[in-house]
Structure 1
Amino acid sequence: MKFRNLQRNIKIRLFTDFATDLTQMAIFPFMAIYFSIEVGQGLAGILLMINVLCSILAGLYSGYLSDRLGRKKVMLFALTIQVSALTVMAFANSPFYTSVWLTYVMFLISNVSSGVINPAASAMIIDSSSEKDRPFIYGLQYWSGNIAIAIGATLGGLFFESNRFPLFCFFAVVSLTTLLIILKFIHETLPVKSEELVTEVEKPERKKSFLSNYLNVLKDGRFMVFVLGTIFVMSLEFQLDKYIAVRLKQEFHAEFFGMDISGVRMFSIIILINTICVVVATIHLSKWLSRFNRQTVLTVGLIIYSIAFGTLGFSNNFTILILAAFMFTLGELIYSPTKQTILAGIVQDDSRASYMAINELSFNVAMLIGSLGLTIGAFVPSSVMAALYFIIGIAGLICFRSAVSYGKAKEVKISHEVTTR
C-alpha cells in the first residue's frame, strides 16, 4: 500500500488533520498559562473545565448530526465557525485592541468547533477506507499527527507569549485553507440507503432522537468494552506528563559523560526519543505489522507498553529509563494503528459518527484519570504506581481482546443460525 494509491478523501483528510492538529497544539496547551496569568489560577481552572465540558457536548451532538446530515456539511459548518473564532481571537490580541474575555469566548467557540469536527472526520475515514488498507492509513495518520503536534508545540513555545497576534492570524489562514480544500475537493461519504430499500421497520429508526441514538450505542456491549479498554490504555499515556514528569523532577538525578541530567531534562529526553522514533519508524513498522494477526500484534504491543510504563513509574536509572522510553514508543507504535483498525471494524455502519463521538469521549475520561494518578502518587510509593500502571495496561488489553472475541463469537453464532435454517 502506498500513499498515492489511497482514495482522494483519505489523502485530503490526512492533510487537513495535520493542519488541525498543528493549530490546536500551537494554541490550546498555552491557553492555561495565559488565563492563569490574566484571571488567576483558580478561575482559569474553572474556565478550562467549562471549555472541556462544552467540547464534549458538541462532539456528541456532532456525531448525531453527522449520521443524519452528512460528514461534509458538519465539517464545513464547524470550520466556518473556527475560522471566524480564530480571526476574532487575533483581533482581541492585536496591537489595536486586547481583551482576555473576548479571547476566552473565541477560544471556547474554537475548541467547540474542533469537538464538532472530530467525530465527522473520523467517520469519513472509515467510510472511505477498506479493512485491508486501514492499518496503513491509521499508521500514517498517527505519524503525521505526531509531527504536527511537535511542530505546533514548538511554534506555540516560540511565539505564543510575545507574538499572539501574528500566530492567531496565521492559524486563521490555515483553517480557512482547510475549509476551502474540504469545500472544493472532498465528497460526501455518508452511506445513504435508497428509499426503495428502506423497510417500514427501518424508517422510524432513521428518525430516532438524540437520546435514543446514543442509548443504542451504549447498549452495544462489544463497543463499550472496547471503549473501557481505550480509557485504561490512554490513562497511562496521560500519566507521562503528570505523575511520571513530577516523579522524575523530585527523584531523578544522574550524570552522563560528565553532563548533569536533572529530572526535567530526563523527561525531555524521553519525549525526544518518543518523537524521533515515531517520525522515523511509524510508516515502515505499520506496513510490516499489517501481515500479522491483529489480535497478536495488539497483545504484543500492549504488553511492551505496559511493562515500559511500569518501569517509567519507578526507575531512577538513566540507562533503564532510556530503554523504557524506547519500549514505550515501540509498544505505542505497534498497538495504536492496530487498535484504530479494530475500532473501525466494530462500529455500526449507520451510526459511525455517533460511535466515534463516544470514542472521543473516552479520551476525556482518560485525561481525568491521568490527573487522578498525580493525586494517588502523592500518597503511595513509586513501586505501587509502577504495579498499578502494569495492571491498568493489562486490563486494557483484556478489554480489547474481549471485544474482538465477542465479535467473533457473535459472527459464529449468526453463521450457525443461518446454516441451520
Structure 2
Amino acid sequence: MRFRDFHRNVKLRIYMNFLSGTANNMVLPFMSIYFSGKLGDTSAGLAVILGIVAGVAAGICGGYYSDRIGRKKLMLLAEAGYTAAFAVMAVANSPWLESPAATLIMMIIVSMFWGLHGPAQDAMLLDVTPPEARKFMYAVKYWLNNLSFAVSGIAGAFLFKSYLFELFLGLTIIGVVTFAVTHFFIEEVYKPGTEGTIARGTGEALRQRSQLSMWTNYREVLKDSTFIIYSLACMLLVSVEFHLGSYVGVRMEKEMLNVPFLSWKEWSMQVDGLQMLGFLRTENTVLIVLLSMTIRYVIGRFSDKKVLLLGYTLYVAGYTYIAYSSHPWMLLLSMLIATWGELMYVPVNQAYLGDIAPEHARSSYMAISGLVYKGAMLLAGGAVVLGGFLPSWLMAALIGLCGVSGILLFYSILAKLDSRKELAMKPASQSVVASA
C-alpha cells in the first residue's frame, strides 16, 4: 500500500489536518498563558474545563447525527463554525480591539465545533479505507501530526506574544481553505438509509436503527462489551504517557535541581527538572518524526498481536521508569524505549478500533472513543494530587500498574478483536449474508 493509493478523501484530509494542525499548534497550546495573564488563573482554568465539557457534549451529538445525516454535512457545519470563531478571535485581538472575554467565549465555541467535527472525520476515514490499509493510514496520520507539532511548537513560542492577531487571521484563512476543500473535493460515500452502506443487518434493521433516540443509540454502543473493554484499556495506557505532563513534570521540578548532565574537562552542564522535561518531550517528538515510517518496515513481518503486546510492554516500561528516575541519561534512554513502543502500538491499536466499529454506527463509536483521552487526562490530574502524599517509587509503581492493567485488558479481548477484523475484511455482501 502506498500513499497515492489512498482514497482521495483520505489524502485530502491528511493534507488539511497537517496544515490546520500546524497553525493550531502555534496558538492553542499557549492560550492558557494568554487567559492567565489577561483574566487571571481562575478564568484560565475555567476556559480549559468549559472547553473540555463543550467538546465532549458536541462530540456525543456529532457521533449520533453523523451516522444519520452523513459525514460531510456535519464536517462542513463544524468547519464553518470554528472558522467564524477564529475570525471573531482575530478581531478581538486586533490593533483596533482587545477583548479577552470574547476570546474566551470563542475558544469554548472552537472546542465545541472541534468536538462535532472529530467523530464525523474519523468515521469518514474508515468509510473509504479497507481494513488491510488502516495501519498504514494511521501511521502516516500519526507521523504528520507529530511533524506539525514539532514545526509549530518552536514557531509558536516566538510568534504568539507579538503576532497574535496575525496568527488568528491565519487560522481563519486556513479554516476557509479547509471548508472549500471539504465542500468541493471531499466525496460523501456514506449514505444513511441505504442497504449498500451497511455490512451488518438488513435495510429494515437499518431503518429501525435510524429512528433510535440519542440515548438509546449510545446505550446500544455501551452494550458492546468488547468495545468498552478496549476503551478502558486505551484509557489506562494513554494515561501512562499523560503523566509526563502532570505528575512527572511536578516531580522533576522538585527533585531535579542542577543535576550534572554533560561535562568536558573543566566545562560542565547541569539541568533542572523543567529543562529535563523539555529534553524528553523534544526527544519523543523528534524520534517519532524520524522513525515512524522506518518502523513500519521493521515490524511488518510480525503479527499484529505480537507487535501490539511488545509495543505496549516497551511503552509502559519506559514511562514507568521515567516516573521514578532523576538520572538524565537513563531518562533519555527510557524515553527512547517508550517511544519505540509507542511507534509499534499506535497504528495497530487504531486499526483495531476501525475493525470494532460497525459501519452503521462508526461515528457513535468514534465519539465514545474520544472520551478515552478525557479520562486519561483525569487520571493524570489525579496523580498530581496523590503525588503530594505518596513517595515517587510508589507513584511510579501505580503508573506502571495502570499500564499493566491496560495490557491485560487488551490481551483478554484480542481473540474477539481478531475475529472482528476477519469479519471487517470480508466483502460487504458476505457480511450481510452472515448476519442475516
TM-score (normalizing by structure 1): 0.94
Look up the match of 1:329: 339
Cα distance change, pair 112–180 in 1 and its aligned pair in 2 (3 A):
same
Look up the match of 2:375: 365
Cα distance change, pair 49–229 in 1 and its aligned pair in 2 (3 A):
same
1:255 is paired with a residue whose SS is: strand
1:382 to 392, 395, 411: 392
Look up the match of 1:110: 110
Q: In the aligned structure 2, how far is the partner of 1:271 from the partner of 1:186? A: 35
Question: 8 Å contact 1:217–1:355 — kept in the other structure?
Answer: yes
Question: 8 Å contact 1:136–1:283 — kept in the other structure?
Answer: no
Structure 1 residue 223: deviation in Å? Answer: 0.3
Deviations 1:44-77 (A, max 9, x none): 2123211210110001101111111111111111
Residue identity matched to 2:146: N
Q: In the aligned structure 1, how far is the partner of 2:204 from the partner of 2:21? A: 43
1:239 is paired with a residue whose SS is: helix
2:318 to 285, 288, 308: 308
Residue identity matched to 1:350: H
Q: In the aligned structure 1, how far is the partner of 2:16 from the partner of 2:411? A: 32
Question: 8 Å contact 2:319–2:334 — kept in the other structure?
Answer: yes
Matches within 5 A, 1:110-129: 110-129=110-129
Structure 1 unmatched runs, 5+: 413-417
Deviations 1:212-248 (A, max 9, x none): 1111111110000000011101111111111111212
1:51 aligns with 2:51: yes
Question: 8 Å contact 1:76–1:179 — kept in the other structure?
Answer: yes
Residue identity matched to 1:32: S
Structure 1 residue 200: deviation in Å? Answer: 3.7
Residues matched between the structures, number: 416
Deviations 1:88-123 (A, max 9, x none): 100000000111111111111112111111111111
Cα distance change, pair 409–93 in 1 and its aligned pair in 2 (3 A):
closer
Deviations 1:266-297 (A, max 9, x none): 11111121111111110121243233211111
Question: 8 Å contact 1:63–1:355 — kept in the other structure?
Answer: yes
TM-score (normalizing by structure 2): 0.91
Q: In the aligned structure 1, how far is the partner of 2:111 from the partner of 2:209? A: 31
Structure 1 residue 20: deviation in Å? Answer: 3.2
Structure 1 residue 409: deviation in Å? Answer: 7.0
Question: 8 Å contact 1:19–1:175 — kept in the other structure?
Answer: no
Q: In the aligned structure 2, how far is the partner of 1:5 from the partner of 1:62? A: 29
Cα distance change, pair 172–411 in 1 and its aligned pair in 2 (3 A):
closer
Structure 1 residue 199: deviation in Å? Answer: 4.3
Look up the match of 2:233: 229
Question: 8 Å contact 2:20–2:171 — kept in the other structure?
Answer: no
Structure 1 residue 319: deviation in Å? Answer: 2.1
Percent identity between matched residues is 32
Residue identity matched to 1:122: D
2:357 to 334, 344, 347: 347
Structure 1 residue 403: deviation in Å? Answer: 2.7
1:256 aligns with 2:262: yes
1:162 aligns with 2:162: yes
Question: 8 Å contact 1:78–1:116 — kept in the other structure?
Answer: yes
Q: In the aligned structure 1, how far is the partner of 2:172 from the partner of 2:203? A: 46
Residue identity matched to 1:138: Y
Aligned-residue CA RMSD in angstroms? Answer: 2.2
Q: In the aligned structure 2, how far is the partner of 1:362 from the partner of 1:133? A: 24
2:93 is paired with a residue whose SS is: coil
1:187 is paired with a residue whose SS is: coil
2:207 to 203, 208, 217: 203
1:267 aligns with 2:277: yes
Structure 2 unmatched runs, 5+: 423-432
Stretches (4+) displaced over 6 A? 409-412
Look up the match of 1:243: 247
2:69 is paired with a residue whose SS is: coil
Q: In the aligned structure 1, how far is the partner of 2:229 from the partner of 2:85? A: 37
Residue identity matched to 2:11: K
Structure 1 residue 410: deviation in Å? Answer: 8.3
1:380 is paired with a residue whose SS is: coil
Cα distance change, pair 14–260 in 1 and its aligned pair in 2 (3 A):
same
After superposing the two structures, state which structure 1 stretch, 125-134 or 26-35, moved more: 26-35
Residue identity matched to 2:317: I
After superposing the two structures, state which structure 1 stretch, 149-158 or 344-353, moved more: 149-158
Residue identity matched to 2:261: E
Q: In the aligned structure 1, how far is the partner of 2:242 from the partner of 2:421? A: 35
1:294 aligns with 2:300: no
Q: In the aligned structure 2, how far is the partner of 1:403 from the partner of 1:58? A: 30
Look up the match of 2:330: 320
After superposing the two structures, state which structure 1 stretch, 301-310 or 403-412, moved more: 403-412
1:333 is paired with a residue whose SS is: helix
Look up the match of 1:80: 80
Look up the match of 1:23: 23
Q: In the aligned structure 2, how far is the partner of 1:272 from the partner of 1:27? A: 18
Look up the match of 2:430: none
Cα distance change, pair 171–409 in 1 and its aligned pair in 2 (3 A):
closer
